[in-house]
Amino acid sequence: MKAIIYTQYGPPEVLYLQEVEKPTPAADEVLIEVHAASVNAADWRLMRASPFLVRLMGGGLLKPKRPILGADVAGLVVAVGKNVTRFQPGDAVFGDLADCGRGGFAEYVCAPEAVLALMPATMTFEQAAAAPMAGVTALQGIRDQGGLQPGQKVVIQGASGGVGTFAVQIARALGADVTAVCSPRNLEQARSLGADHVIDYTQQDFTQDGPHYDLILAVNGYHPIADYRRSLTPNGRYVMAGGTGAQLFEALLRGPWMSRGSGRKLGALTAKPNAADLADLGALFEAGKVIPVIDRCYPLEETADAIRYVEAGHAPGKVVISMAANHAR
């Protein structure tokens, strides 16, 4: 099978297309014929080993431990391990393989059945591949850690990227009053996804002159954590789901301290891939409440270009690797 390989850390030029052996599923795994995969910020961070902590957290100290990137996949089950009970060959599935080795930038990949869900019948492979990591992160940040309730006010900072576009739609589906913060070129997209209010971050700082919010979901951009706290209602929550290293540091270390003695809760989200939340996303899709926003599609052999584009940080939605040409042979 064909796969995108990297054997050293560095820029996108370290990625190359190579023929490798097709994997064989273990007892609790399925073998997936990958029809689409999507690119996440984690891919270029792993590729570059940036920050250096990536090497110490299992990426490989001197060189990559796992040579194939790609966590989000969608495709057809072609074989199952002896202990698999939820899937059979021919099933269309999607999932996030971040916690089980990745390997999605290839024509085939093995994955534990526990991290997969059946695709909705009306969902394309490209849409399904765009959903797992970004969609589940948004769902857990908004619904679970954010505890958002109908009628509450939520502001989504970084509303135009992969997580942000899902967050706007999920918050709207939950009946919240949604404010989207993004660049001027993406304001109309945010409105079309259901945002009640839009803020051009180049013209307005919502932490200085906006209303108070029940939930702030920060996906991209940076404000001091004290500014976020000041913008919350007395029982509001700030959830950091992406952004700069400084923002992560503040959310992890200062957030718990600044939450003490107050009804406000400030902290970072650690999203957990799971099949139940994928099924919930699928149900929202079938109900017409959430539709993955896809900016661009690339063929497998242009994965390096796709990662380079995502790393630039301006993609309005998700970037997908489509295997349609590979499976048309």
Structural domains of the chain, count: 2
Q: For residue 156, which of 196, 127, 128, 188 has the smallest C-alpha distance?
A: 196
* CATH label of the domain that carries residue 149: 3.40.50.720
Question: Which residues does 316 contact at the CB level (< 8 Å), separation at least 6?
Answer: 160, 161, 165, 185, 186, 189, 293, 295
Domain containing residue 71: 2-131+293-327
Asked whether 178 and 170 are in contact (CB, 8 A), the reply is no
Residues in the chain: 329
Per-residue pLDDT tens for 256-310? 666 776 788 888 898 999 999 999 999 999 999 999 999 999 999 999 999 999 9
State which amino acid sits at residue 281: L
Residues 70 and 156 in one domain: no
Separation between Cα atoms, residue 3 and residue 22, nearest integer Å:
10
The predicted-structure confidence for 235-256, as pLDDT tens digits, reads as follows: 999 998 987 666 776 766 666 6
| Residue 264 sits in the same domain as residue 142 | yes
Predicted TM-score (pTM) of this structure: 0.93
Q: Please provide the distance, in angstroms rounded to a whole number, between the alpha carbons at the two ends of the chain.
A: 13
| Pair 31, 94 in one domain | yes
Say whether both 105 and 141 belong to one domain.
no
CA distance 275 to 188: 32
